[in-house]
Amino acid sequence: MKLTLGFSPCPNDTFIFDAMVNGGVDTHGITFEYVMEDVETLNQWAMDGRLHITKLSYSTFLHTVHRYALLHSGSALGQGVGPLLVARHPLDMARLHEHSIAIPGIKTTANLLLSLAYPQAKNKTELLFSDIEAAVLDGRYDAGLIIHESRFTYAQKGLIKLADLGDWWEQATGAAIPLGGIVMRRDLGAELCATVDGIIRKSLELSWQRYPQLSQFVKENAQEMEEEVMRKHIDLYVNSYTTDLGDTGRNAIATLFSKAKEAGLIPYSANDNIFY
């Protein structure tokens, strides 16, 4: 059986899927035909149900739960992992609506958190996440919403932090921050979903056994990132929730659904149909 799989080239994703797509674990006869794209492209594809299995932002999952079931392994949740709003100089946050903001995608969880925390901030432009720092530095935008490895590089590039939306979420809800998850098309059936879920977990376990050594697969897709930054990226975004969401992770996702409903962004709350 061949299944299509989408994930990003970021170290946390390649770390998770390395063994799974490169013959390191038993895939039970399944061949994974994978593609690596930025998360917003994967979000757009998920809206159309293009891939059998895909990484997506939890904000996109809010709108695709009828088509995709969430797997228990592979998610990016945690504390202190939220997106940052940065700028060249301090801005009056009460007047954020007057400023232009570069965001990594309308359907990203980062933008959802920005919308919940600062609903008045409407002047947004979508850019590839890795282009946002430069776009703010050269003055094209007043502020930028950064994710992934940009958390580790913005200060040395001369940008300052305006807001940590992860801190805002944790203080407002007391829940972990649901950033991205791995989902699988419901029409494939619960049994196959469970099999793939187990393969992902085994793939992740093998990567941890080798860590802090990084495979060539992780390094060659990390977009000129230094190995120290790759490890910081993995340490931040790959944690116990990635192995299994557990009750705490599931509660965090339910909270996200609830907050999105309260804000009028979706018409329903989380229910038992989130998973396969």
User: Is 258 one of the annotated binding-site residues?
Assistant: no
Q: Annotated catalytic residue: which of 52, 72, 148, 233?
A: 148
Is residue 148 part of the annotated active site? The answer reads yes
Q: Amino acid identity, residue 252?
A: A
212: preceding bond cis by omega (within 30 degrees) = yes
Separation between Cα atoms, residue 194 and residue 215, nearest integer Å: 27
Pair 7, 51: CB distance under 8 Å: no
User: Is 55 one of the annotated binding-site residues?
Assistant: yes
Residue with tokens 């490890």: 231
The string of DSSP letters for 164-193 reads EHHHHHHHHH-S-EEEEEEEEEGGG-HHHH
User: Is 157 one of the annotated binding-site residues?
Assistant: no
Pair 166, 80: CB distance under 8 Å: yes
User: Is 109 one of the annotated binding-site residues?
Assistant: yes
> The tokens of 235 are what?
């340490």
User: Is 110 one of the annotated binding-site residues?
Assistant: yes
The rounded Cα 130 to chain-centroid distance in angstroms is 14
Question: Taking Cα atoms as reference points, which of 48, 64, 57 lies closest to residue 7?
Answer: 57
Show the DSSP H helices in the chain as ranges: 11-21, 39-47, 58-64, 109-117, 132-137, 165-173, 190-210, 216-220, 227-237, 240-243, 246-262
- Bind-site residues for substrate: 55-57, 109-110
Q: Catalogue the active-site residues.
A: 148
